[in-house]
Amino acid sequence: GESVGLHLPTLSVQEGDNSIINCAYSNSASDYFIWYKQESGKGPQFIIDIRSNMDKRQGQRVTVLLNKTVKHLSLQIAATQPGDSAVYFCAESNYNTDKLIFGTGTRLQVFP
Amino acid sequence: DVKVTQSSRYLVKRTGEKVFLECVQDMDHENMFWYRQDPGLGLRLIYFSYDVKMKEKGDIPEGYSVSREKKERFSLILESASTNQTSMYLCASSTDRVGTSPLHFGNGTRLTVT
């Protein structure tokens, strides 16, 4: 398959366990954050977003946590499945810019 | 679901050729974007457009141009392809400006310039 990164950090988890993927963002003025999932050979797929007036948001099997004090974002995946294997990356922006800044990504590997 | 369609999954072109990458979205989104994705460099913004016939340069516009004649279609043009333009090209669209709504991506065009 195609690789989106040569030396991405990798998180290996057992099927059924919970996964936590972390992201440190760079700009204290960022007020909107997004998590994407990218499977091999596909484009990034939107998972969940969060605004800076929140510190937690839940979706289906996923939770995003935002800690503005330390500029840290995390994605929690409950009951990880083989189909969750992919590269995950965060993105940050704010309303005053036209730019979405992407992190470099973390590869999630799920083993039986 | 939002659908962003890129016309080619794989392209092989020769140095010096003029290359057109086409992108169509079916959700009536105002905003469209072109990125390239390279190992170790992540996603880099080439051009974007907030309206028909409007375009703005991103972070790496050199060697590229774009065309947005219709709301649903955003084309990326490599005027004279070079080997350093070998990359994965990703088109995206969004309902609102960056910073207020997520971008939705197509599945990419992997371009090889020989």
Mean pLDDT of B100-114: 94
Residues 6+ apart with CB under 8 A from A80: A13, A14, A15, A16, A17, A18, A19, A108, A110
* b/e burial code for range B58-69 (CB count within 10 A of at least 16 → b): beeeeebebbbe
Helix (H, G, I), strand (E, B) or coil at B83: helix
DSSP E strand boundaries for A1-112: 10-14, 19-24, 32-38, 45-51, 56-58, 62-67, 72-77, 86-93, 101-102, 106-111
Which tens digits make up the pLDDT trace of B50-65?
999 999 999 999 999 9
Position A56 scores a pLDDT of 98
Interface contact B42, partner A, CB < 8 A = yes
* B107 contacts A4? CB cut-off 8 A: no
Which of A34-38, A96-100, B24-28, B89-93 is least confident?
A96-100
Q: Distance (Å, rounded) from C-alpha B38 to C-alpha B110?
A: 10
Nearest CA to A89 among B105, B55, B24, B22? B105
Q: Tokens 């516009």 map to which residue?
A: B61
Interface contact A112, partner B, CB < 8 A = no
User: Contacts of residue B90 in chain A, CB cutoff 8 Å?
Assistant: 43-44
Mutate to test the interface with B, among A8, A27, A38, A46 (most CBs of B within 10 A): A46
Give the pLDDT band of residue A4 (cuts 50, 70, 90).
Answer: very low
Nearest CA to B54 among B72, B67, B73? B67
A5 vs A31: which has the higher pLDDT? A31
Which tens digits make up the pLDDT trace of A71-112?
999 999 999 999 999 999 999 997 777 678 898 899 999 998
Position A3 scores a pLDDT of 40
Which tens digits make up the pLDDT trace of B15-49?
999 999 999 999 999 999 999 999 888 899 999 99
User: Contacts of residue A2 in chain B, CB cutoff 8 Å?
Assistant: 88, 110
**CA–CA distances in Å: residue A74 to residues A33, A63, A64, B62:** 10, 8, 6, 35
CA distance A34 to chain B (A): 7
Cα B114 to chain center, whole Å? 20
Position B96 scores a pLDDT of 82
Q: Which two tokens stand for residue B33?
A: 């974007």
Polymer length in residues for chain B: 114
* B110 contacts A2? CB cut-off 8 A: yes
Helix (H) or strand (E) holding B77: strand B73-78
User: Contacts of residue A27 in chain B, CB cutoff 8 Å?
Assistant: none
Backbone angles phi, psi at B85, to 5 degrees: -100, 5
Q: Distance (Å, rounded) from C-alpha B93 to C-alpha B30?
A: 8
